[in-house]
Amino acid sequence: MGVKHKVLVSDDVSENGIEILRKSPVLEVDVKIGLKKEELIKIVGDYEGLIIRSATKVTADVISAAKNLKVVGRAGAGVDNVDIAVASKRGIAVENTPGGNTVTTGEHTFALICSLARNIPQGTASTKAGKWDRKLIGVELLGKTLGVVGIGRVGSVVVKRAQGFQMHCIAFDPFISAEKAAEIGVELVSLDELYKRADFISVHSPLTEETKHMISAKQFAMMKSGVRIVNCARGGIIKEDDLAEAIKSGKVGGAALDVFEQEPPSADNPLLQLSQVICTPHLGASTNEAQENVAIAIAHQVVAFFEDGVIMNAVNVPDVDPEVLKKIKPYLSLAEKLGKFVSHVGGKGVREIEVATSGELAEVDMKPLATSALKGFLSHFAGDDVNFVNAPFVAKERGIDVKTSVSKKAINYAGLLTINVKTDEGENTISGTIFGKEDARITSINGIHIEAVPEGNMLMFTNVDKPGVIGALGTYLGQKGINIGQFHLGRSAPLKDAISIVNVDSELDKSVVEGVVKIPNMLKAWAIKL
């Protein structure tokens, strides 16, 4: 046997998973848990594989020092502790284990719902303190309305358990069809309606630019008095200061939190001072079964990577033959970007996604291109639970029909990729191409020709094609301190509807987008980050 591949396990992973690694004849395994960033940077250059959970932060600095690193294996689903963009540029595969802790997280969520309803932690603390506080009056779950924000895998587990308690379940999820929602047994509603009707609200969304602080003072004001909030998804989705104020005012009856914006939360976090708040230290995935599942899964994946060259559950590398990959790699990236872009502007109740190719792309396998487009589209709301391997299955779970088509007709580009999304509210189409070797461009949106660069922070808007709109927008963005990098225009016909895509140098928050829509003759606006 030749030189072995060195693998570092830097977080607490089940011993059974480590044993699988050690049994591989091609691997040399070191387990070093609790390394500080400086310590990790000092030694990571010796390793070709790195296995982590959530504690190790694989930052750009760490990746820069990892001169020989080929694969990062995450025992779990979330990869927000890995700089995916930098890893991708370096050609490092980042693999995760989606689904390994789905039931565990769903059960923890429902345990918190029950604890919140019946004041179980408060009663435990009171009794152990020598008190006998019979005034801790709870509420029944029977007949209550549970609002679930995001009914992917974990959200669906929570719904099933709530139905067992005879709760009425309503849900918001723009990427699920009405038929699939009916099959699960939930009523699809808008976010505003969910906030107004729910007695309990459970959040199951990834943390993105769009979902950060999506529940804050404005949303709390819509809710029923006494509503109870549960978050086992990601810290930062709920604005913590606003939640604390809503609890103090009596608007919110209580909250159960497994995640915080800063982990661990600081001692002066106002939520920790409130008796109506119950919390756990990010234990959603912490059961023996879940930790065993994800450790064994990632161990097998890393062994397969080094023994057979097989990439499994990669969040940044599709499973494509190396020779084919060389030819279509720029288009794979384009497909993912176009999918993510159109997910921001599409309507609710996604029914069908069609990925079409023409020109030189008509000669290549459609499957990896369609999967890349699906991953980009679904990651907007499914987050780290979707990757290049499971994207088709996630789409199927959500009742989305996926189609592909190929045309060999002559076109104005060497190769053209088009994504069409049909929803309960209509449809949206986006096309793009590659100029040169890897210069990506959006070429049209909903039939309107436009040439735009799909990268970074972007503002897209539609408007009535009248004088003064662009000038007013430039003035407004300038007042907000937002610098314009590139400005791209398109229109269906003079003085009719127009569309613009603006590349800007800083992130656009919701308030900026709301201000854009208020400009005269402006129709709609979206903030997009690629």
Which positions are annotated as active-site residues? 234, 263, 282
Q: Please provide the size of the chain in residues.
A: 530
* 111/204 Cα distance (integer angstroms): 15
Q: DSSP code of 180?
A: H
Q: How many contiguous H segments (helices) and E segments (strands) does the chain have? A: 17, 22
Contacts of residue 522, Cβ cutoff 8 Å, sequence gap at least 6: 461, 462, 463, 469, 473, 516
Residue 197 structure tokens: 């009707």
Which of 10, 93, 90 lies closest to 50, judged by CA? 10
3-state secondary structure of 445: strand
Find how far residue 314's CA is from the centre of its chain.
15
Residue 411 structure tokens: 């076109």
Residue 440: enclosing H or E segment and its boundaries? strand 439-445
- Whether 500 and 470 have beta carbons less than 8 Å apart is answered as yes
Return the amino acid letter for 497: D
Give the CA distances from residue 221 to residues 212, 217, 245, 246, 424, in Å, rounded to whole numbers and listed in that order: 18, 6, 11, 8, 29
78: left (phi over 0), alpha (psi -120 to 50) or beta: beta
Bridge partners of 8, per DSSP, are 30, 50
Give the CA distances from residue 252 to residues 118, 211, 324, 444, in Å, rounded to whole numbers and listed in that order: 15, 20, 55, 46
Taking residue 352's Cβ as centre, other Cβ atoms within 10 Å add up to 15
* 349/171 Cα distance (integer angstroms): 12
**292, HSE (Cβ side, Cα atoms, 13 Å):** 4
Phi first, then psi: give them for residue 513, nearest 5 degrees. Answer: -65, -40
3-state secondary structure of 166: coil
**Using omega within 30 degrees of 0 as the cis cutoff, is the peptide bond preceding 264 cis?**
yes
